[in-house]
Chains A and B, each alone.
Chain A
């Protein structure tokens, strides 16, 4: 899966949570600016796990998220790329 494909899927998932069209979520958008609430966040992470067959190490109680940076579209795409590579074949 290419980075562009991952980015497209991530944007689609975020847009669906936010009830926006995918075109309304830019490729460099920050999650907080998008107005995603805490439940929206965990629902989006669930959707990404299902989409990419990965397990995202995200704990809502760790503000700096040492294991997975969920702060922006680029950081999410990078994190997912990394998790796909690590995935056991």
Chain B
């Protein structure tokens, strides 16, 4: 079986519009959460989010193409461009290259604008590009078009685990020989009136801050952004002399087959154990876990129980970077994978900011407020979605 490595990273998120800025923000424990300013935000009960402030797509993409791109695609294209550049790749991979991008809400902003036009404004037509803008595979397809990637290209929609599932499937494509290079990750642009309104109804959004694993946490904070990673067969990367950032050591996915929203620690634990097995790692090899850590009562309790079950009561250092970049829903796993790569390449474990006090129900070793210096050999990145879906990735120092 071919080993798979990471040779490029790209992101836009509330903290920064590139990887170096995001790494700096993780080192500083910077918070990307602020007041929401989009149309009708004043009609929301929850008015905070980790939005990408001052997003000017013309600065990053050809203005002539913008009418074809919802923000979810814009983010993915900008992140993908950075990842391809970092990897030293351009076009020319043909059918040996592919793209798998997760997104939960796809072009929700396009749905919203179009519904406003026909329902609220009483118009009788919408832009002819509505369908190609809003479809969930638009980010993956536009990346494939841009870079001539003609192999496996698809979108994955598994709510908050979309990006982890996308990366897991990309790993499997390369392992089984279907591609040499895969762009993988997630993109999300759910910060619009309808997107936040929908979440509000579930009563799980925090009005103040995202404080994962902390006593006094009040829930999650939605974020926008994209993360794209270049996954590459190790032999392919070595042959072209690429810089190898980390090995994508393993992946596993499980389903709770229980409740549609309430998490089951057993399902999460099974996914972590299976990812370790797939990677040929044992629990004591893991030096850091980038937790799903949404900041809800239910997730953080359940995830803590799962971690303690897998690691025999001795938790490795855990943090949730959602406290900084927000919960970017279908993109969040990709932002968190980038945090994991930073841990492996810079020996820095990113912090959980906004932490007030330990919660006895979350008795894991939380990296709080400040990043922790640590040389780690392997890490896990957890993602657990509504629908009872669990997707865990393992990365290892190359």
Determine whether the beta carbon of B261 is less than 8 Å from that of A59.
no
Task: Type the 1/0 row for A6-49, where 1 means its CB is closer than 8 Å to any CB of B.
Answer: 00000000000000000000000000000001110010011000
The answer to whether A45 touches B260 (Cβ under 8 A) is no
Q: Which of B94-102, B198-206, B364-372 contacts A (4 or more CB under 8 A)?
A: B198-206
In the complex with contacts A60-B203, A60-B219, A55-B297 CB distance below 8 A = no
Complex formed: what's the CA distance from A37 to B298 in Å? 13
Residues of B within 8 A of A58 (CB): 203
A2 at the interface (CB under 8 A from B): no
Find the B residue at minimum CB distance from A42. Answer: B203
B interface bracket (residues with beta carbon within 8 Å of A): 10 to 19
A59 interface neighbour in B207, B259, B262, B298, Cβ under 8 Å: B207
**Are A61 and B296 closer than 8 Å at their CB atoms?**
yes
CB contacts (< 8 Å) of A55 on chain B: these are: 45
Please measure, in the bound complex, the distance between the C-alpha atom of A55 and the C-alpha atom of B207, giving whole angstroms: 15
Complex contact A59–B202 (CB within 8 A): no
Contacts of A61 in B (CB 8 A): 204, 206, 217-219, 295-297
B215 to chain A: closest CB distance in Å?
11
Q: Is A62 an interface residue (CB 8 A)?
A: yes
- In the complex, what residues of B have CB within 8 A of residue A46's CB? 201
CA distance A58 to B261 in the complex (A): 18
User: Judging by beta carbons under 8 Å apart, are A39 and B261 in contact?
Assistant: yes
Residues of B within 8 A of A62 (CB): 218
Q: List, in ascending order, chain A residues with CB within 8 A of B262's CB.
A: 37-38
Which chain B residue has the least Cβ–Cβ distance from A56? B203
Q: Scan residues 293-307 of chain B and give those whose CB is less than 8 A from a CB of chain A.
A: 295-298
Contact A42 B201 (CB under 8 A): yes
Cβ contact of A60, chosen from B45, B207, B260, B297, cutoff 8 A: B297
| Distance between Cα atoms of A32 and B301 in the complex (Å) | 20
Min CB distance A46 to B, Å, is 6
**Binary interface encoding of chain A residues 54-84 relative to chain B, with 1 for a CB under 8 A from any of its CBs, else 0:** 0101111111000000000000000000000
Q: Binary interface profile of B, 260-272, with partner A (CB < 8 Å = 1, else 0)?
A: 1110000000000
Q: With the chains together, A57 CA to B217 CA distance in Å?
A: 16
| Nearest chain A residue, comparing its CB with the CB of B260 | A39
B contact set with A: CB distance below 8 Å: 45, 201-207, 217-219, 259-262, 295-298
Name the 7 nearest CB pairs between A and B, nearest first. Answer: A61-B219, A60-B203, A61-B297, A61-B218, A42-B203, A61-B296, A60-B204
Q: A38-B262, A46-B201, A60-B219 are in contact. List 10 more A-B contacts (CB 8 A).
A: A37-B259, A38-B261, A38-B298, A42-B201, A55-B45, A59-B204, A60-B296, A61-B206, A61-B217, A61-B296
